[in-house]
Structure 1
């Protein structure tokens, strides 16, 4: 086994420097045994250095990526550096963590590869809110949808560029989630992320909110106030609902994108703008350009990279994934032992159209978690508008299987004069199954 101590002795100063780095750093030899493990790697993985040293890297990180897309193996085999690959590791406490991985081969003085070095950047910190946790991979974005998976696949490359990104999609489809992911995966990640809803600002205040103002610019302007562009300096600015910007202000945004300068209200000198702009809207900007309500030159400046996010009704296969993710967060936040969703309730959730998209699903689950005491979320824990409307027993029209079961159960209970045990024996079902059938429409037959 080739050790890294020769010809690269790691002095105490070297160890001090590496232990001061925020990213996890570890090295392996050509037998994949870990030869160095800094303190940030310990903190990220929850595995002590003494336990990691000498162990195979796949035993420490326990990720399926080790088998399928090992970054270290690729860089050592191909003699190349690899940067910003999104992967998942299993921490010592059993939880998973999304990390940005970069790797390079280690060589001796004769240029021979004697191992590899890998850095791990934690991508989960600061995203405790359920809306902001899922974003590193198709699994993290809770999707099996082909079009959305492709967007997630190219997301790291787009984020590493400085290109302006235009996010299109209905309200609640996750546009801000994508914007935050772009910021988090970019070279501006340590800078601020500032979001401004252009549709929520009064038209007469938009300019001062975006560009700030100087003291004396108007009657109540007693001191300088920074605008959103200044607050986002060195970071990313999300212009949400940019389709609501008035034409007069659109020209000022265009100038920022073209010349990277702006002028605060009441200012006489231009201010440089070191800001990456991401814009989003639920409106059809191309049609607005044709109608003359949105500037064509601004549209083409914004539309360097376009991500169109599909509505939830077009990706119903993702509903169980989103539900599972949201419930994990709810369990932590509310301290309830809610294990999941009953099959009948999940069937209703997957069939629903979600005009409010993911945001509406989150609200539905929050409501259900309030009513559910624990265990599985049942149909009667869901909002009433999701529960099926059961037709009267006398209906001659076609019925779903759920309705057939419901009507059969109702008749059995009535035939047995309300004796549920007798009804269960007649139907050949358990009392618990009878209760679930009778609750299908949110009420129980007495």
Structure 2
């Protein structure tokens, strides 16, 4: 959530930042919040003044009670107090309405982009900052044909059990999936991340705190009777460990990694973009989360990018790094790098990791702070990145490593799979 004080003190910069994200009505939205904040603070000032007046009148009544013959004065004071109490009641209700509306409008605003984020309205304006050599298919099979040939994943069975987008991994397909999870977790542990195994259901407060609500309500699976949501990423559960927390500065940065199944309703049902493992309703992902001092968060972002880049290189997959433009940023992000792997048979780039700095956007919602050297309470910065998302990694691995003898397993995974080829 954008800090309200930033709107109070630098309204135009907030408007310009939202325009950079592609919000054509940014000025209208920010002006409405600005005026509503003035009304709320004016109402609070009136309530404070009434409280002071009531306190004064109560003292005057106390004095009048000690003097005989002041009955008329007492009645007048009591009537005045009753009238003031009614005014307080009405103003309190008005204040609550202002506060609720202000909170609702602030929650609807996305984060402001970092100044270095490229200008642009859609993915075509993203900036490719690195790319390994890659070549298109020359007769290779697409992964959906390979998994059928080697009986690795069964989409029809998943559709029977649950519905489209819920695959069943089988045999060596399941073992390769588990090998990738364990490899990613072990690598993160070596890099100093503490492993967390979090819940995959979260409450409304958790979903609001990390920005899934109200932005992605339509994309999340819900349990309405209990107001719980299936997580779209482990980031939601792990980051909420620190909701309403004050972290000692000496404990920073905090680095966590967690594996969970993830659930997203937005998966489509048409075309090659969503065929096979390209886009699913349920998928496995290893997630990285960092909580950092504001002065160090962008160095941490670059460090996370380098780390995830190293994972893809160990798997020997062709890849590229993309810096997202303002119009393609996620709701909470101030800056995002995507890592995309090349699915050689499809001749398609598939995003396997988004690595983002949210600055104070989430921590403001989380009330996540640290005390500085002056003992002032300050908001921390939160970051997250996929390390990595499995379905598209698996798709790219299968397509790249197919041979006439079978699918070769990358050397770094063979200690985890217990086999070197799928045939």
Scaled by the length of structure 2, what TM-score is found? Answer: 0.19
Scaled by the length of structure 1, what TM-score is found? Answer: 0.19
